Amino acid sequence: MISKENILAIAKKTILSESEAITKLIDFLDENFFEAVQRIYETKGRLIVTGIGKSAIIAQKMVATFNSTGTPSMFLHAAEAIHGDLGMIQNDDIIICISKSGNSPEIKVLVPLLKRFGNTLIAITGNTTSFLAKGSDFVLNTTVDTEACPINLAPTNSTTAQLVMGDALAVCLMEMRDFKPEDFAVYHPGGALGKKLLLRVKDMIEHSLKPTVTPDTSVKKVIFEISEKRLGVTAVIENDKIVGIITDGDIRRMLNDVDTIADLTAKDIMSKNPKVVSSETMAVDALNILEDFSITQLIVADNGEYKGVLHLHDILKEGIV
């Protein structure tokens, strides 16, 4: 058995080795990188990313990153390419081929076929004198001195270097496109991330009830209104204006303070100047207001027109927190 101390030491050594390999990439950035970014940015086609083995897995991750940040991309498996998948490549497409050695049999078969189509070919390789490098228009150097693997065989530092080089390309392209959070949201409409960036208050109150009383409504009827609408709150409306809010907490406090509610009306127990948001408010911003003021409901109104009630539970149900 390896001791806990040895396991932690091996893990630290691995992380340090990979971090050092990444740091060295800075010295490899040159005119090739600049030209590659420019070509990708200016192309009217897509970015095709290909590789074999572990590099193919890195290629798939790159494609996912490029697609989500505004660079239309497709993955092409190097082994499948020569069995029909080359048909996905179109005239304006730019191709990135990833290979540590740049000399694997599949790459040697693939490169001449790619060049036959006349597309720009960008190599990401750890061997700048390889078959792939010599056949490419631009070479992005991801050379590593050694792998973190103790027998220097399993791709570790080399695949991390490939991944980081791909991220560097993607981030440069994002900056060139002035890619903003709202752009990112377009490509991530689902899940918590998309909802944080896209979901608005109006999306959550579209079919909600609108508990309403007037200042002169009896407290008994106020209680009925809150109970019936099941939002734990009611707006107090006078002359089409929101003049107050009554929550179930207000009701409980009132019952603790008085012996009878017979003569009480809404205006006697309502809170004036309630927190109000518009229906266009982002859900995440509404959540921040709820948290800042330690409340669970917000009145929703557009230009003073009462639209409904947003409850904390509405936001929690959407899973954005």
Could you list the residues known to form a binding site for Zn(2+), using ranges.
77
Smallest Cα–Cα separation from 274: which of 231, 233, 227? 233
Distance CA 253, CA 248 (A): 9
The backbone torsions φ and ψ at residue 207, rounded to the nearest 5 degrees and listed phi first, read -115, 15
Q: What is the DSSP string of 131-200?
A: HHHHT-SEEEE---SS-SSTTS-S-SHHHHHHHHHHHHHHHHHHHHTT--HHHHHHH--SHHHHHHHH-B
Distance CA 4, CA 11 (A): 11
Cα dihedral 31, 35, 41, 47 in deg (nearest 10) = -110
Decide: 321 and 199 in contact? Cβ < 8 Å. no
Element housing 118 (H / E): none
Q: What is the DSSP string of 206-263?
A: TT----EE-TTSBHHHHHHHHHHHTSSEEEEEETTEEEEEEEHHHHHHHHHH-S--TT
Binding residues: 77
